[in-house]
Amino acid sequence: MPTRVIHGERELVKQAGLLKQLGNRCLLVTGKTSARVSGALDDAVEALKSQGIEYELFDQVENNPSLENVGAGGKAARKFRPDFILGIGGGSPLDASKAVAVLAVNNIEPEELYRNKFDNPPLPIVAVPTTAGTGSEVTPYSVLTHNELETKKSFSVPELFPRIAFLDWRYTEKLPLSITRDTALDALSHLVEGYLSRKAIGTSDFLAERGMKLWAKCLKGLREGALTPEDRDLLLVASTLGGMVIAHTGTTLVHALGYPLTYYHGLPHGRANGLLLGEYLRFSAQYVPERVNDVLAWLGLKDIGEFSRIMGELAGPMVGLTGEEVKQYAAKAAATKNAAQSQGDVTETVLQRILECS
């Protein structure tokens, strides 16, 4: 994996010299509040100042950033002309940072990001996650909202792997419980989907097993709503391991079905995934029962029923869907590569049933 992962408290400040190796000008890419509230922005500014690195701040990243949103970031980058990008936040700012890194040196329309081929390579990226869920700090994927297609869609080139990822649990300490749970479900979905993917390999299996076992150690805290610093640190590492897993395998039908729940109904991405995971396990057990049993064992759960009850407890109730919506979302999902990477015969009928039973 090309990303250098640095894990520990205040390592962003302690190892600021690594930033200087990337250049003298940095564009900070964040959302409006999370980077400030978490303390990560203060640490980043301190690190940059200590090395005499000139910086500007683009703090306009939206939740589930659109092509238009990253286009604005790209315009800001081309004006400032940074040497590297430092992204701070959850999945939205980190994914936006990758798009901005491309647009900073390629004056193209945001839609053209999906060509996955650019005249100039993206600027180097440093990733500082403030949630324990997306794993974007160690993947080459940027997932953006495509309003014309009415869904989320990713683009990817190998150069989008961040050069450095700084993992510091303190940046997740002030997250509301709802966001902590939602992002934890996102991390779990990456670990589970990667392990059950057609593209799973020995390396990804090893990472998935380790990640699920770490995640399981935090389950009590997630259910009770009282997470210790150790819990948050373990969740952050589990999330990064989940990112490493899907960097190998990609995601499966859970993400394909979750995207319309986010786009049309406003469900947070991780929560949408969590609501679908139980039925996903039931479906997958028809084809890879040994692997589903591994998942349950590593999480310390006795059966899929217990798994589904816990997912419901953490994610809350499913949104009400009309019959027409179920058909529409299943049709969209069936056409994705995520569905093709799933075990079994993933038809529209299968996807409809998963939605209806979740």
Rounded to an integer, the average pLDDT of 164-193 is: 98
Distance CA 111, CA 88 (A): 24
Q: 291 and 209, same structural domain?
A: yes
Q: 180 and 102, same structural domain?
A: no
Quick one: tokens of 225?
Answer: 């709503």
Distance CA 51, CA 53 (A): 5
Q: 252 and 157, same structural domain?
A: no
Question: Across all residues in the chain, what is the average pLDDT?
Answer: 97
Q: Each residue of 256-308: pLDDT tens digit?
A: 999 999 999 999 999 999 999 999 999 999 999 999 999 999 999 999 999 99
- Given a cut of 90, whether residue 117 has pLDDT beyond it is yes
Rounded to an integer, the average pLDDT of 178-205 is: 98
Rounded to an integer, the average pLDDT of 19-26 is: 98
Q: What is the CATH number of the domain that holds 124?
A: 3.40.50.1970
pLDDT at site 3: 98
Q: Each residue of 2-16: pLDDT tens digit?
A: 999 999 999 999 999
Distance CA 307, CA 305 (A): 5
Q: 270 and 186, same structural domain?
A: yes
Q: 66 and 10, same structural domain?
A: yes
> How do 84-89 and 125-129 pair as beta strands?
parallel
Per the structure, the count of domains in the chain is 2
Q: 250 and 264, same structural domain?
A: yes
Q: Each residue of 37-83: pLDDT tens digit?
A: 999 999 999 999 999 999 999 999 999 999 999 999 999 999 999 99
pLDDT at site 239: 98
What would the 3-class secondary structure string for the chain be?
Answer: CCCEEEECCCHHHHCCHHHHCCCCEEEEEEECCHHHHHCHHHHHHHHHHHCCCEEEEEEEECCCCEHHHHHHHHHHHHHHCCCEEEEEECHHHHHHHHHHHHHCCCCCCHHHHHHCCCCCCCCCEEEEECCCCCCHHHCCEEEEEECCCCEEEEEECHHHCCCEEEECHHHHCCCCHHHHHHHHHHHHHHHHHHHHCCCCCHHHHHHHHHHHHHHHHCHHHHHHCCCCHHHHHHHHHHHHHHHHHHHHHCCCHHHHHHHHHHHHHCCCHHHHHHHHHHHHHHHHCCCCHHHHHHHHHHHCCCCHHHHHHHHHHHHCCCCCCCHHHHHHHHHHHHCCHHHHCCCCCCCHHHHHHHHHHC
Q: 162 and 32, same structural domain?
A: yes
* Cα atoms found within 13 Å of the Cα of residue 77, Cβ hemisphere only: 35
Which structural domain, as residue segments, surrounds residue 233? 176-357
- Given a cut of 80, whether residue 1 has pLDDT beyond it is no
Q: 49 and 113, same structural domain?
A: yes
Q: Can you tell me which residue has the tokens 């079905």?
A: 257
Whose CA is closest to 130, among 87, 191, 164, 69? 87
